[in-house]
Amino acid sequence: MMIDRRLIREVDWVLLGLVLLHSLIGVFFIYSSSHLLAGNYYVRQLAWIGVSLVALALVLAIDYKFFVSLSIYFYGLTVALLAATLVFARFIAGTKSWITLGLMQFQPSELAKIVMILLFARLFAGYKSAYLTTRHTLFALALAGVPLVLIILQPDLGTAMTFLAIIGGAFILAGLRRKTVLLFLLAAIVVGLGGWNFGFKDYQKKRLTTLVNPLHDPRGSGYQVIQSKIAIGAGGLSGKGFMKGSQSQLRFLPARHTDFIFSVIGEEAGFMGVLAVIVLYFFMLTRMFLSVSKARDRAGVYIIFTAALLIAFQFLVNILMIIGLFPVVGITLPFISYGGSSLLTNFIACGLILNVKMRRFANV
């Protein structure tokens, strides 16, 4: 399928450039933090960037309205995949979230995020009243609840939380009444207490108590946060230099090329590096959120907003988590952390934003 020349001109190249810039910053620090490990992670990440760019181009080629119209089929497929994952996948690092497709391993829960974005866009596209009705709320919750429960069962707390962020974002946009918010809070407390007493695994409980006091369990779940904070703090203003951080090079830092890559940046590039990355990231997020005003229809607004929120939520949770302001939940830093599934998902999300933005004129 050929794309109209005019459409290519309308692509937000600045945003795409920012995404690629972050991906390259990621490759640098993936190299720094994993060059001692076997497996050439930076090469693999570069390959994934390539794959993700192709995927992004494919997303751009098709009008987002087409995706939205198909979203209910995507949804069915995803639920089936998640269910299959739960049944067939083997445990990797304590969870059943990976399925193997040929040579590649993939997390269907990542794909589910994109599907939720499209599904909500479809669900709320024609919803014009100022506030959500109870019926609509319950229907949306029921739809989102099925994949969410499947993800919680894996168990993958990080992805489940991201999922909740998307649902919450869509609801906020659709308009939540104060009493609905209160009801949600009440439900959250009940579910939370129930979960704490019956559902949560011990490691998850530990992570929460560790947030309050990391020294409570310095060798266990507190270890990661302590080492991460040490790495960041030791970086100081200008950092220890590329590939010179003792915390990451001597392997005190856990998951340093994935979830904790920003700690490596903090240690090796210092506060100046942290400031630069956060400012750039914020610039990128701003550009994504500002695109909301470019969407020509309600579905587009929902797509841009939930996709931007998806990236912003992961970014915030990650940078707060590695410095001890949020429990360690296994959420990566989008575009920068190592990991194919996450990279692909975030590129597709970005592709959706670009897609909506470039098709902003009604007569196209």
Give me the residues paired with residue 92 across strands: 95
Q: Number of residues interacting with other proteins: please give it, by CB under 8 A.
A: 54
The residue range among 39-47, 48-56, 90-98, 222-230 that interacts with other proteins, by the rule CB under 8 A, is 222-230
Beta carbons within 8 Å of 16's beta carbon, 6+ residues apart: 56, 350, 354
Q: Could you please report the per-residue DSSP string of 29-97?
A: HHHHHHTTSTT-HHHHHHHHHHHHHHHHHHHHHS-HHHHHHHHHHHHHHHHHHHHHHHHHPPPBTTB--
236 binds other proteins (CB under 8 A): yes
Question: Would you say 55 and 354 are in contact if contact means Cβ atoms under 8 Å apart?
Answer: no
160 binds other proteins (CB under 8 A): no
Of 77, 79, 276, 285, the one binding other proteins (CB under 8 A) is 285
361 binds other proteins (CB under 8 A): yes
Phi/psi for 159 (5° steps) reads -65, -40
235 binds other proteins (CB under 8 A): yes
Of 99, 136, 175, 208, the one binding other proteins (CB under 8 A) is 175
289 binds other proteins (CB under 8 A): yes
Indicate the residue among 105 and 133 with the shorter CB distance to other proteins.
133
- Quick one: which H or E segment has residue 100? strand 99-101
Indicate the residue among 106 and 281 with the shorter CB distance to other proteins.
281
301 binds other proteins (CB under 8 A): yes
199 binds other proteins (CB under 8 A): no
219 binds other proteins (CB under 8 A): yes
222 binds other proteins (CB under 8 A): no
Our measurement of the distance from residue 116's CA atom to the centroid of its chain's CA atoms, rounded to an integer in Å, reads 13
Could you give the CA distance from residue 226 to residue 253 in angstroms, rounded to a whole number? 9
Could you give the CA distance from residue 286 to residue 241 in angstroms, rounded to a whole number? 29
Question: Would you say 304 and 353 are in contact if contact means Cβ atoms under 8 Å apart?
Answer: yes
Residue 107 buriedness (CB in 10 A; 0-12 / 13-18 / 19+): buried
The residue range among 5-13, 152-160, 297-305, 351-359 that interacts with other proteins, by the rule CB under 8 A, is 297-305
229 binds other proteins (CB under 8 A): yes
Site string for other proteins, 121-150 (x = CB under 8 A): -------x-x--------------------
- Quick one: which H or E segment has residue 105? strand 104-106
Which residues contact other proteins (rule: CB under 8 A)? 128, 130, 169, 172-175, 219-220, 227, 229-237, 246-247, 250-252, 266, 270-271, 274-275, 278, 281-282, 285-286, 289, 292-293, 295-298, 301-302, 305, 308-309, 312, 316, 319-320, 323, 325, 361-362
